[in-house]
Structure 1
Amino acid sequence: MGKRLKNIRERMAREGYDSILITKKHNVYYLSGFTGTAGVLFITMDDAYLITDFRYIQQAKEQTLEFNVLKYEDTIWTTLNNLIRQNGLNNIAFESNHVTYNQYERMKREIAEIQLIPTQDIVEDLRIKKDEEEILTIERAARIADETFEHILDIIKPGISERDIACELEYFMKQKGAEGIAFDTIVASGIRSALPHGVADNKKIEKGDFVTLDFGCKLNRYCSDMTRTIVIGKPDEEQKKIYKTVFEAQKAAREYVKSGLTGEEVDKVARDIINLGGYEGLFGHGLGHGVGVEIHEAPRLAPGFKRKLEENMVVTIEPGIYINGLGGVRIEDLVVITEDGCRELSNSSRELISV
């Protein structure tokens, strides 16, 4: 945590901020380790404070060794005003993309005469590259997902509902040590598999269905994310073609991705294969996204994303084809960007599996 505080202070110095107020819970956790649901960070060039209420004082003291833990008696604003006066501050930066208009208006009313400076993604820019411990934690979460996929193949059969499959996925991940799910579990079968975010429904699995399973877990606050599409029974020729096209697009992107390329360049490799396969316009989302303490974070692998990838960024690679009235296929893996390629964190088979 000390290194993360050092990094944000270096950014504050470059931007001319006397202090910064961190309110987004993922960023509070990233900088301090605090897991409570009520608390903000107030960081100056010399001091760092975690302000919370009486419910979390002991927890905060145990989790946030780099921060002075303060309990607010009246409101957070009263405590902030005291700190502003004590430190002789001239300005405060705040996370403008996580503060509502009403919250901003209250800040203007409640905080002493001081300049409020809106910032965007100041902590997210630090989070984009993972350290060794973060990568290890995500890898362990990905391993749980791999084990869960292997387990669910013995459960899926005609007549079982998507919702029952989702419940079993989530229960098994928790049995394996996950603290919770990373996002609403997607189980989409038959024509519903054409829904990229088809959250599990009461639909029963039928023979001939594609079944798309997109799920992940949280481990020590870090997420995993994987997708596999299987077929119930023997696939027909069109299903084979769709799957083969997605399989080849995903393989090409995994083999192409490396540090120094832009997200747009990697996306194009997979998108070109899908378009040439006759499915232009049916891959309607980006190729991938960053994963960390949030399931969707920077960087993005998508058209228009021109930031260059760097070593130790963790991203998904997840091309798909979605055809209304027929169904869809998506294959998704987690990888760590390296200097000359990537290291795969997801290890489940990518071949078309029939059950």
Structure 2
Amino acid sequence: MKERIKKLRSKLDEEEVNALLINNPQNRQYLTAFTGTAGVVLISDNSAKLITDFRYTEQAEDEATDFEIVEQGDNKLETINRLLQEEGIEKLGIEAQGISYRKYLQYQKELDVELVATTDVVKSLRKVKDKSEIDKISQAVEISDYAFEQIQEQLQVGAIEREIALELEFAQKKQGATKNAFDFIVASGTRGAMPHGVASDKEIEAGDLVTMDFGCVYQGYHSDMTRTVMVGEEPTAKQEKIYNLVLEAQQAAIAAIEPGETGAEVDKVARDIIAEAGYGANFGHGLGHSVGLEIHENPRLSRKDDTVLEAGMVVTVEPGVYIPDWGGVRIEDIVVVTDDGCEILTDSPKELLVLD
């Protein structure tokens, strides 16, 4: 954590502030390792404080070992103001995306400092993951791989989408996941045309393609994977064609990932392959996104993101083709950018599985 604090302090001058107040829960955990649900972080050139209430002080002492733990008392803003005055802070950076307008007005009223709105100061540090973060993401991915292997026996004609989602959740939690990464997508048959077709009460039918997009949280870090399988019958020529097209686009995009490429450039690799096959209009979302303490982080693999990829960035690669009244296919892996390319963390097979 000391290295993260050091990097953040180097940003204070750039933001023209004497200290930064951090409300965002994921940013708080990133800097402190504190996993409680209440608390704010105050970082200056001379101190690093975690301010929390009586319920969490003992936990904070155990987890946030590089921070001074301050019990907030009855009035949190009064406590923060006292700390600011003790350090002589004149310009305080606040997370513009981390507080409501109502809270901002409270800050103006109760804190005797000049407030400076900052944007994504800590999140900019979170773009590149260190080894401990990659290890946790890798473990989360391993848990999801296990769940996919386990669910295959239950993917049968007559199975209910919602029950498949529940079994995926059970399998992940049995392996140490603390919670779901998001509401799982299980979309069979024509519902596969909905990229975010959250699991419904639909029964899986013979000849359905079934798309499952799921993930878990392990020690605060997320996994995210998608596989599309056949149930009950061999694929038709069109099903096989669309599946192989999406797989080709995904593999080409993964091969294009390396430091120096931009998110937009990698997105274009997959998008061009799908467009040249005549399905460009059926791939309407970005190619991928970073994952970490949140399920959707920056950078993105998207036509709109010119962020240059760096070693240590972790991103999903998830092209898809969605055809109304027919169905869809998506395949998604998590990869980590390395010095000379990338490493695929997701280990589940990607050939089209036909399940009885």
**For this structure pair, what is the TM-score category when the shorter chain's length is used for normalisation?**
over 0.9
Task: Name the residue aligned to 2:301.
Answer: 301
CA deviation profile, 1:156-214 (whole Å, cap 9, x unmatched): 10111011000100000111111111111111111111111111111111111110011
In structure 2, the residue corresponding to 1:10 is in which secondary structure?
helix
Task: Name the residue aligned to 2:146.
Answer: 147
CA deviation profile, 1:142-163 (whole Å, cap 9, x unmatched): 1111111111111110111011
1:281 and 1:107 map into 2 onto residues whose CA distance is 47
Task: Name the residue aligned to 2:130.
Answer: 131
Task: Name the residue aligned to 1:19.
Answer: 19
1:349 has 2:353 as partner: no
1:125 and 1:316 map into 2 onto residues whose CA distance is 18
Greater CA drift, 7-16 or 251-260: 7-16
In structure 1, the residue corresponding to 2:155 is in which secondary structure?
coil
Give the residue type in structure 2 aligned to 1:284. Answer: G
Identity of aligned residues (%): 48
Task: Name the residue aligned to 1:177.
Answer: 176
Give the residue type in structure 2 aligned to 1:105. Answer: L
Task: Name the residue aligned to 2:165.
Answer: 166
Please give the residue correspondences for 1:89-238 in structure 2 after superposition, counting only pairs within 5 Å. Answer: 89-112=89-112, 114-232=113-231, 233-238=233-238
Once the 2 structures are TM-superposed, how far is the Cα of residue 293 of structure 1 from its aligned partner? Answer: 0.6
1:241 and 1:124 map into 2 onto residues whose CA distance is 40
CA deviation profile, 1:103-122 (whole Å, cap 9, x unmatched): 1111111212x110001110
2:344 and 2:188 map into 1 onto residues whose CA distance is 27
Give the residue type in structure 2 aligned to 1:206. Answer: E
Task: Name the residue aligned to 1:36.
Answer: 36
Once the 2 structures are TM-superposed, how far is the Cα of residue 345 of structure 1 from its aligned partner? Answer: 0.1
Once the 2 structures are TM-superposed, how far is the Cα of residue 13 of structure 1 from its aligned partner? Answer: 2.6
Give the residue type in structure 1 aligned to 2:156. Answer: K
Task: Name the residue aligned to 1:337.
Answer: 337
1:2 and 1:223 map into 2 onto residues whose CA distance is 23
Please give the residue correspondences for 1:235-250 in structure 2 after superposition, counting only pairs within 5 Å. Answer: 235-250=235-250
Structure 2: which 5+ runs fail to align? none
1:55 and 1:291 map into 2 onto residues whose CA distance is 30
Does the CA-based 8 Å contact 2:211-2:227 persist in structure 1? yes
Give the residue type in structure 2 aligned to 1:116. Answer: L
What is the aligned residue count? 354
2:127 and 2:327 map into 1 onto residues whose CA distance is 34
Task: Name the residue aligned to 1:54.
Answer: 54
1:119 and 1:16 map into 2 onto residues whose CA distance is 10
Once the 2 structures are TM-superposed, how far is the Cα of residue 51 of structure 1 from its aligned partner? Answer: 1.0
Task: Name the residue aligned to 1:258.
Answer: 258
Give the residue type in structure 1 aligned to 2:136. Answer: T
CA deviation profile, 1:113-133 (whole Å, cap 9, x unmatched): x11000111001100001111
Structure 1: which 5+ runs fail to align? none
- TM-score, normalised relative to structure 1: 0.98
Task: Name the residue aligned to 1:275.
Answer: 275
2:37 and 2:146 map into 1 onto residues whose CA distance is 31
Task: Name the residue aligned to 2:76.
Answer: 76
In structure 2, the residue corresponding to 1:159 is in which secondary structure?
coil
Moved segments of 4+, more than 4 Å:
none
1:208 and 1:89 map into 2 onto residues whose CA distance is 66
- TM-score, normalised relative to structure 2: 0.98
CA deviation profile, 1:303-344 (whole Å, cap 9, x unmatched): 021110000100000000011111110000000111221101
2:102 and 2:80 map into 1 onto residues whose CA distance is 18
Give the residue type in structure 1 aligned to 2:322. Answer: Y
Once the 2 structures are TM-superposed, how far is the Cα of residue 70 of structure 1 from its aligned partner? Answer: 1.1
In structure 2, the residue corresponding to 1:55 is in which secondary structure?
helix
CA deviation profile, 1:277-307 (whole Å, cap 9, x unmatched): 1102110100010010111001100002111
Does the CA-based 8 Å contact 2:15-2:118 persist in structure 1? no
Does the CA-based 8 Å contact 2:258-2:340 persist in structure 1? yes
CA deviation profile, 1:258-279 (whole Å, cap 9, x unmatched): 1100000000000000001110
Give the residue type in structure 2 aligned to 1:188. Answer: A
In structure 1, the residue corresponding to 2:153 is in which secondary structure?
coil
Aligned-pair Cα RMSD in Å = 0.9
2:102 and 2:15 map into 1 onto residues whose CA distance is 26
Once the 2 structures are TM-superposed, how far is the Cα of residue 231 of structure 1 from its aligned partner? Answer: 1.2
2:270 and 2:126 map into 1 onto residues whose CA distance is 26
Give the residue type in structure 2 aligned to 1:208. Answer: G
2:347 and 2:93 map into 1 onto residues whose CA distance is 42
1:215 and 1:170 map into 2 onto residues whose CA distance is 9
